[in-house]
Each structure stands twice: as C-alpha cells, then as structure tokens.
C-alpha cells in the first residue's frame, strides 16, 4: 500500500479493522467483544436471567430491529445492483464502451493486447506511464535548461514512485478486486497532471517529440484514473452482493433465536427459582442479536472509507484525501 495510506493507518489493529481484515472476521470480533461485555455484566450481577419486562422489551426490540435492518439493507442493495440490468441494446453499448476504452489504452501505450485481469491491467498502466516518464527525462539529458530538466526529473520520479508503490501492493496482495482498489487508495494524479500542463506552457523549447511524450503521459494518467474508478464500482457491487448474502445467512438464524428467547421467557415465567441455564442462554442470545448490526458495520466501514478515498476526479485534488 502507498506511503500515504501507511501514514493514515498507523495502527495494525486499525488497519485490519478498516481495510485488511476479512469482513466476516471483523464482524465476529465485534460480536465476541459484545459477548464478553455482557458476560462481565452478568458476572457482576448487572444482567439477570430472571424473566422481566425490560429484558422482554429488549429482545422484542432486537427482533423487530433486525427484521427491519435486513429488509432495508437488502432493498437498498437491490436498487444499487439493478444497474446491472438492462436491455440488449444497453448491455451492448456498455460492452462497446469497455472495448473502446481498452483500445484507447492500447493505442496510447503502443502495446497490444493489454492484460485481462484487473491486477495485471493496473500494473501494466503504471509501468507504461513510468516508462514514458523515464523516456521523457532521458530526452532532456543534454538540454542546457537546468530548470526544465529538474522539473521533468521531479515529475518522472513522482510517477515512478507511484508505480513502484502500486507494484509492491499488487505483488503482496491476493489477486482479487480489493487488492486492485487497495493499490490505488492513496494515489491521485492531479498534481502530476497540473505539472505536465505547467511544463508545456512554461517551456517553449520543448521539441515535438517531448510534447508528444507529455501528451502520452497525460493520457495514461487519465486511463489510470478511469480504471481505478471502474474497479471501485465493480468492487462496491461485489461487496454489496456479498453483504446481502451474509446478512441473510446471519439475520435469519438470529431472528429464529430471538423468537426462541421470547418463547422461553414466556414459558419459564418470573416465579423463582429460574433454571441455571437461562442466564448463559440470555447472554449468548443478546450478543447474537447484535450480529446483523456487526456485519453491516464491518462492511459499511470499509465501503465508506474506500468511497471517501476515491471521491476526487484526476484533474482535481481532494483537500481531505489524507484524512482517515
């Protein structure tokens, strides 16, 4: 991951919860923490297994709240995923647009065919822009204008550093769509695009070949930003689909368990002595009742952070991009 992300996620636990950890594992840790909290409360006498109106009301609220949560989240996700539906003409246009984008990348880079997988494609884009930046710097090795040479060298170094960070992240991550997203979370090429425009306008002594190289670097940076925006869209759609499925896997059993607790409370009654197994059953059921919310929290935490880090479009810098 890029240096900007490392600075933002300065704690291993924070990074795991926010980005690196599998979402079901993060949700499981949250539920385990809630279970420990309720166990402590039961041990010190703050939580009783004796059926009472407050506990009955709490379980009734969990039952209704989880049912609403699962229903609303599934409905929202279906609205988001409905963009994948369309007429044959609309689907054909999408495919043609994707092919046109790939053809533009091949024409700009001078290499064909481009890689198929998102990981290899993103690595290819960064290697291509780094190679052109190095070629531009080499073309100015004999220039008498030291300021121009220094400006171009700084631009080339920045692009090469970005490419190296992306390659390091892709090489160290599993080949999935989030590995591609993670590799570009800390990148924004607004400053490089601005520097290219500034060099073109300030230095009239640039040759036609050098200006063509600058144009190629600019186009490749725009291709990179287009790719990362597209991969972000694909990632969000896949993540929302996974969230919907996981909420069903967790939510339905939790609803059955909560309904069982309400039935047990009605059967046991409030007359002492209360069976000894009721209190552990209540503690576990309370913790499980928060499982759907924990699942939603773990997914939304990463989705919202990814969206925040990818809000800006390449020609513009986001003033808040370094905030966690």
Measure Cα distances from 222 to 97, 99, 154, 301 in Å: 16, 16, 19, 28
**Distance between CA 199 and CA 316 in Å, rounded?**
18
10 Å CB burial of residue 54 (0-12, 13-18, 19+) is exposed
The predicted pLDDT at position 159 comes to 86
Helix (H) / strand (E) element for 116: namely none
- Residue 30 near residue 298 (C-beta atoms within 8 A): yes
> What does the pLDDT read at residue 244?
87
> Which parts of the chain fold into alpha helices (H)?
3-8, 12-15, 23-43, 53-81, 88-109, 118-139, 146-172, 177-184, 190-202, 208-268, 278-289, 291-309
- Residue from 210, 167, 208, 202 nearest 187 by CA: 167
The per-residue pLDDT for 283 is 87
Q: What pLDDT shows up at residue 322?
A: 44
CA 245 – CA 202 distance, rounded (Å): 56
pLDDT for position 6: 46
Most confident segment among 90-94, 99-103, 132-136, 293-297: 293-297
Q: How far is CA 324 from the centre of its chain?
A: 13
What are all long-range contacts of 192-195, with beta carbons under 8 Å and residues at least 24 apart? 192/155, 192/158, 192/159, 192/217, 192/221, 193/218, 193/221, 193/222, 193/314, 193/315, 195/151, 195/154, 195/155, 195/158
Instruction: Please tell me the CATH code under which domain 87-237 is placed.
Output: 1.20.120
Question: Is the alpha carbon torsion for 37, 38, 41, 43 positive or negative?
Answer: negative
Tokens matching residue 24: 């079901």
Specify the pTM.
0.78
What's residue 273's pLDDT?
Answer: 57
Tell whether the model's pLDDT for residue 318 goes beyond 70.
Answer: no
Structure tokens at 80: 């988001």
Query: Does position 9 have pLDDT exceeding 70, yes or no?
Result: no
Q: What is the pLDDT of residues 272-308, one digit of tens each?
A: 656 667 778 888 888 999 999 999 999 999 888 887 7
CA-wise closest residue to 191 among 311, 309, 317: 317
Distance separating alpha carbons of residues 105 and 314, to the nearest angstrom: 17
Q: How confident is the model at residue 29 (pLDDT cuts 50, 70, 90)?
A: very high
- Find, among 114, 79, 78, the residue nearest to 98 by Cα: 114
């Amino acid at each position: 991951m890029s240096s900007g992300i490392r600075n933002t996620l300065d704690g291993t636990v924070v990074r795991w919860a926010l980005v690196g950890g599998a979402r079901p594992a993060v949700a499981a840790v949250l539920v385990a923490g809630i279970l420990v909290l309720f166990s402590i409360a039961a041990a010190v006498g703050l939580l009783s297994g004796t059926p009472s109106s407050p506990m009955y009301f709490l379980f009734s609220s969990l039952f209704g709240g989880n049912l609403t949560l699962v229903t609303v989240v599934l409905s929202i996700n279906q609205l988001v995923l409905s963009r994948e539906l369309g007429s044959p003409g609309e689907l054909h246009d999408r495919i043609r647009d994707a092919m046109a984008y790939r053809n533009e990348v091949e024409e700009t880079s001078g290499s064909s065919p481009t890689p198929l997988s998102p990981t290899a494609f993103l690595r290819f884009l960064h290697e291509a822009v780094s190679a052109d930046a190095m070629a531009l710097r080499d073309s100015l090795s004999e220039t008498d204008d030291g300021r121009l040479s220094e400006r171009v060298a700084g631009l080339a170094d920045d692009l090469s550093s970005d490419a190296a960070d992306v390659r390091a992240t892709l090489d160290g991550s599993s080949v999935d769509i989030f590995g591609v997203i993670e590799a570009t979370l800390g990148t924004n090429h607004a400053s490089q695009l601005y520097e290219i425009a500034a060099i073109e306008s300030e230095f009239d002594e640039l040759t036609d070949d050098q200006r063509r190289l600058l144009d190629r670097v600019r186009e490749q940076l725009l291709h990179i930003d287009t790719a990362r925006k597209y991969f972000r869209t694909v990632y969000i759609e896949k993540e929302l689909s996974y969230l919907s499925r996981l909420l069903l896997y967790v939510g339905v059993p939790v609803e059955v368990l909560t309904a069982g607790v309400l039935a047990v409370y009605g059967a046991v009654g409030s007359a002492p002595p209360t069976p000894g197994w009721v209190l552990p059953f209540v503690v576990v059921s309370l913790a499980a009742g928060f499982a759907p919310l924990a699942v939603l929290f773990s997914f939304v935490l990463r989705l919202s952070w990814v969206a925040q880090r990818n809000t800006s479009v390449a020609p513009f810098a986001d003033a808040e991009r370094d905030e966690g």
